[in-house]
Amino acid sequence: MVWYLSMLIFILAGNAAAALAAPTWDLGCHGHDGLGSTASHLLQRTSRMLRSASARDAILQGNEIWGCGSLQIPEVPPLVAAPLRNITWLHFPKAGTSFLATIWNYACSRRMALDLAVSPRAVPGCEQCYDVALMDRYPPDDYCEEGFLSQNFSTQHRPVTSSAVQSDELKVIGMFRRPSQRLISAFHDSCHASGLAEDQYKVLMQECGPNGKNSAGCYARFPGIAGCMSRMLTGGFCAETQFAESSFDGGKAHLEEAIAMVKEMAFVGLTEYWDLSICLFQRMFGGTVNAAQLVDFHEGDSHQDQLYDETQLMGFVDEVDEAIYQAASDRFHELVQ
Ligand SMILES: *[C@@H]1O[C@H](CO)[C@@H](O)[C@H](O)[C@H]1NC(C)=O
Ligand SMILES: *[C@@H]1O[C@H](CO)[C@@H](O)[C@H](O)[C@H]1NC(C)=O
Q: Cα(152) to centroid of ligand 1, in Å? A: 6
What DSSP line would sit under 11-79, residue for residue?
A: HHTT-HHHHHH-SEEE----STTSS-HHHHHHHHS--TTSSSHHHHHHHHH--TTT--SEEEPP-PPPP
Question: What is the structure's pLDDT at 295?
Answer: 74
Q: Is the pLDDT reported for residue 202 higher than 80?
A: yes
Q: Cα(235) to centroid of ligand 2, in Å? A: 20
Each residue's pLDDT tens digit, 35-50: 333 343 444 334 444 4
Which residue's C-alpha comes closest to atom 8 of ligand 1? 152
Please choose, from the candidates 137, 172, 81, the residue with its C-alpha nearest in 3D space to the C-alpha of residue 297: 137
Q: Is the pLDDT reported for residue 248 higher than 90?
A: yes
Half-sphere exposure of 209 (CA within 13 A, CB side): 13
Please choose, from the candidates 90, 102, 86, the residue with its C-alpha nearest in 3D space to the C-alpha of residue 145: 86
Q: Cα(158) to centroid of ligand 1, in Å? A: 12
CA–chain centroid gap for 212, Å, is 30
Tell me which ligand sits closest to the C-alpha of residue 164: 1
Which residue's C-alpha comes closest to atom 7 of ligand 1? 152
The CA R_g of the chain, rounded to the nearest whole Å, is: 20
* Section 12-20 average pLDDT: 39
Q: Determine the angle formed by the axes of helices 319-336 and 274-285, rounding to 10 degrees.
A: 50
Cβ of 151 closer than 6 Å to ligand 1, yes or no, is yes
Tell me which ligand sits closest to the C-alpha of residue 86: 2
Domain ranges of the chain: 83-336
Q: Cα(151) to centroid of ligand 1, in Å? A: 7
Query: Which option is the CATH number for 83-336: 1.10.3470, 3.40.1700, 3.40.50, 1.25.40?
Result: 3.40.50
CA dist., res. 135 & res. 153, Å (int)? 12
Please choose, from the candidates 138, 133, 139, the residue with its C-alpha nearest in 3D space to the C-alpha of residue 120: 133
φ/ψ of 269, rounded to 5, equals -120, 165
Q: Is the pLDDT reported for residue 12 higher than 50?
A: no
Question: What is the structure's pLDDT at 283?
Answer: 86
Q: Cα(161) to centroid of ligand 2, in Å? A: 16
Please choose, from the candidates 216, 249, 215, the residue with its C-alpha nearest in 3D space to the C-alpha of residue 230: 249
CA dist., res. 102 & res. 283, Å (int)? 13
Which ligand 1 atom lies nearest to the CA of residue 151? 13
User: Which residues form the pocket of ligand 2, taking CB atoms under 6 Å from any ligand atom?
Assistant: 85-86, 151, 169
Q: Is the pLDDT reported for residue 142 higher than 50?
A: yes
Task: Please state which of the ranges 112-126, 223-237, 323-337 shows the lowest mean pLDDT.
Answer: 112-126
Instruction: For ligand 1, pick from 89, 90, 151 the residue to mutate: most ligand atoms within 8 Å of CB.
Output: 151
Question: What is the structure's pLDDT at 68?
Answer: 39
Maximum mean pLDDT: which of 165-169, 282-286, 314-318: 314-318
Which residue's C-alpha comes closest to atom 3 of ligand 2? 169
Which ligand 2 atom lies nearest to the CA of residue 171? 14
CA dist., res. 297 & res. 284, Å (int)? 24
Q: Is the pLDDT reported for residue 167 higher than 50?
A: yes
* Section 46-72 average pLDDT: 47
Going by pLDDT thresholds of 50, 70 and 90, the confidence category of residue 305 is low
Q: Is the pLDDT reported for residue 282 higher than 80?
A: yes
Q: Which residue has the higher pLDDT, 69 or 330?
A: 330
φ/ψ of 89, rounded to 5, equals -100, 120
* Section 282-308 average pLDDT: 74
Rounded to 10 degrees, what is the CA torsion of 40, 105, 334, 147? -170
Q: C-alpha distances in angstroms, 264 versus 96, 164, 171, 259, 260?
A: 21, 11, 9, 9, 7
Task: Please state which of the ranges 57-71, 94-108, 310-324 shows the lowest mean pLDDT.
Answer: 57-71
Question: What is the structure's pLDDT at 80?
Answer: 61
Which ligand 1 atom lies nearest to the CA of residue 164? 14
Bridge partners (DSSP) of residue 71 are 25
Q: Cα(322) to centroid of ligand 1, in Å? A: 31
Q: Please answer whether residues 89 and 97 qualify as being in contact, where contact means their C-beta atoms are separated by less than 8 angstroms.
A: no
Q: C-alpha distances in angstroms, 76 versus 81, 104, 323?
A: 14, 28, 32
Please state whether beta strands 70-72 and 87-90 pair in parallel, antiparallel, or not at all (unpaired).
Answer: unpaired
Going by pLDDT thresholds of 50, 70 and 90, the confidence category of residue 296 is confident
Going by pLDDT thresholds of 50, 70 and 90, the confidence category of residue 31 is very low
Q: Cα(81) to centroid of ligand 2, in Å? A: 19
3-state secondary structure of 89: strand
